[in-house]
Structure 1
Amino acid sequence: MPILASQTCPLLPSLLLTLLLRFTGTSDQEFQVTQPESSISVRAGEILTLGCNVSARSPAGPVLWFRENGQERRLVYNFNGSQFPRVTQVEDTEFNQTDYSIRISNVSPKDVGTYYCVKLTIGHPDMSYVSGPGTYVSVNGTTHEIFQVQQSEMTQTVSIGETVTLSCSVPDSFPKGPVLWFKGSGPSRELIYNFKEGLFPRVKEIGHITKAGNTDFSIRISDISLADAGTYYCVKFKEGKPDREFQSGPGTEVFVTILPSLPVVIGPLERALIGQTVNFSCMSYGFFPKDITLKWFKNGKEISSLQTHIVQMKNSNTYKISSTTEVVLTLQDFYSYVTCNVNHLSLHYPLQKNADLSETILVPSNMSIFEHLIPKNKINVICKAKKFYAEGIQLIWLNNGNISQIDKTLTPSMSSDGLYTV
Structure 2
Amino acid sequence: GGPMLCFELHQPQKEVFVRVGETLTLICTVTAGGPLGPVKWLKGWGSDNKTIYDQKDPSTWGKKAVNGSNTNFTILIRDVRPEDASTYYCVKFRKAATGDDELYRHGDGTVVSVQAKPSKPIVSGPSYRVQPGYTVSFTCNSWGFFPCNISVKWFKDKTPIQSQLRKVTPGPSNFTYRLSSTVTVTLQKDDIRSELTCQVRHTTLTAPLMRSYHLSQILRVPPKVVLEPPGPVGLNETVSFTCDVQGFYPGSVTVTWLENGKEMNTGSTPGPIETPEGLFELRSTVSVQAVPEKNGSVFTCRVLHEGQELLSRNATLWVAASGTGTRGLWGAHLLSSPGLWLCMPLEKAILGLVLFFLFKRWQA
Unaligned runs of 5+ in 1: 1-146
Unaligned runs of 5+ in 2: 1-7, 283-364
* Partners of 2:251 and 2:122 in 1: CA distance: 26
Matching residue of 1:151: 12
2:136 aligned residue (258, 278, 281): 278
Using a 3 Å threshold, how does the CA distance of structure 1 residues 283 and 187 change in structure 2: closer, same or farther? Answer: closer
Task: Please tell me whether the aligned partners of residues 53 and 61 of structure 2 are also in contact (alpha carbons under 8 angstroms).
Answer: no
Task: Tell me the secondary structure at the aligned position of residue 197 of structure 2.
Answer: strand
Residues 1:233 and 2:89 aligned together: yes
Matching residue of 2:154: 296
| Shift, 1:223, TM fit | 5.4
Which stretch shifts more, 186-195 or 263-272? 186-195
TM-score using structure 2 length: 0.59
Task: Please tell me whether the aligned partners of residues 82 and 174 of structure 2 are also in contact (alpha carbons under 8 angstroms).
Answer: no
User: Residue type of the partner of 2:29?
Assistant: V
Residues 1:333 and 2:191 aligned together: yes
Which stretch shifts more, 263-272 or 369-378? 369-378
**1:77-88 equivalence runs, <5 A:** none
CA RMSD after TM alignment: 3.9
* Partners of 1:359 and 1:187 in 2: CA distance: 56
| Shift, 1:335, TM fit | 2.0
Which stretch shifts more, 335-344 or 251-260? 251-260
User: Residue type of the partner of 1:336?
Assistant: S
Task: Please tell me whether the aligned partners of residues 227 and 243 of structure 2 are also in contact (alpha carbons under 8 angstroms).
Answer: yes
Aligned length: 270
Matching residue of 2:25: 166
**1:126-137 equivalence runs, <5 A:** none
Using a 3 Å threshold, how does the CA distance of structure 1 residues 256 and 415 change in structure 2: closer, same or farther? Answer: same
Using a 3 Å threshold, how does the CA distance of structure 1 residues 359 and 377 change in structure 2: closer, same or farther? Answer: same
**1:92-103 equivalence runs, <5 A:** none
Matching residue of 1:415: 275
Q: Deviations over 1:320-365 (max 9, x none)?
A: 4433211122344222111233445565654433210122323232
Task: Tell me the secondary structure at the aligned position of residue 76 of structure 2.
Answer: strand
Matching residue of 1:267: 125
Task: Tell me the secondary structure at the aligned position of residue 52 of structure 2.
Answer: strand
* Partners of 1:387 and 1:166 in 2: CA distance: 64
Matching residue of 1:400: 260
| Shift, 1:230, TM fit | 0.8
2:62 aligned residue (203, 209, 215): 203
Residues 1:354 and 2:195 aligned together: no
1:391 aligned residue (242, 246, 251): 251
* Partners of 1:388 and 1:190 in 2: CA distance: 66
Which stretch shifts more, 180-189 or 272-281? 180-189
Matching residue of 1:43: none
| Shift, 1:389, TM fit | 2.4
Residues 1:220 and 2:81 aligned together: no
Matching residue of 1:363: 221
Task: Please tell me whether the aligned partners of residues 198 and 210 of structure 2 are also in contact (alpha carbons under 8 angstroms).
Answer: yes
Using a 3 Å threshold, how does the CA distance of structure 1 residues 315 and 168 change in structure 2: closer, same or farther? Answer: closer
Q: Which has the larger helix fraction?
A: 2
* Partners of 1:381 and 1:392 in 2: CA distance: 22
Task: Tell me the secondary structure at the aligned position of residue 358 of structure 1.
Answer: helix
Using a 3 Å threshold, how does the CA distance of structure 1 residues 167 and 319 change in structure 2: closer, same or farther? Answer: closer
* Partners of 1:319 and 1:367 in 2: CA distance: 51
TM-score using structure 1 length: 0.52
Task: Please tell me whether the aligned partners of residues 144 and 172 of structure 2 are also in contact (alpha carbons under 8 angstroms).
Answer: no
Task: Tell me the secondary structure at the aligned position of residue 192 of structure 2.
Answer: helix
Using a 3 Å threshold, how does the CA distance of structure 1 residues 163 and 157 change in structure 2: closer, same or farther? Answer: closer
Matching residue of 1:191: 51
| Shift, 1:207, TM fit | 0.5
| Shift, 1:253, TM fit | 1.6
User: Residue type of the partner of 1:358?
Assistant: S
User: Residue type of the partner of 2:138?
Assistant: F
* Partners of 2:140 and 2:268 in 1: CA distance: 36
User: Residue type of the partner of 1:207?
Assistant: V
Using a 3 Å threshold, how does the CA distance of structure 1 residues 341 and 390 change in structure 2: closer, same or farther? Answer: same
Using a 3 Å threshold, how does the CA distance of structure 1 residues 339 and 151 change in structure 2: closer, same or farther? Answer: same
User: Residue type of the partner of 2:181?
Assistant: S
Which stretch shifts more, 353-362 or 277-286? 277-286
Task: Tell me the secondary structure at the aligned position of residue 19 of structure 2.
Answer: strand
Using a 3 Å threshold, how does the CA distance of structure 1 residues 416 and 280 change in structure 2: closer, same or farther? Answer: same
* Partners of 1:183 and 1:200 in 2: CA distance: 16
Matching residue of 2:112: 254
Matching residue of 2:305: none
Matching residue of 2:332: none
* Partners of 1:358 and 1:236 in 2: CA distance: 66
Higher alpha-carbon Rg: 2
| Shift, 1:295, TM fit | 3.2
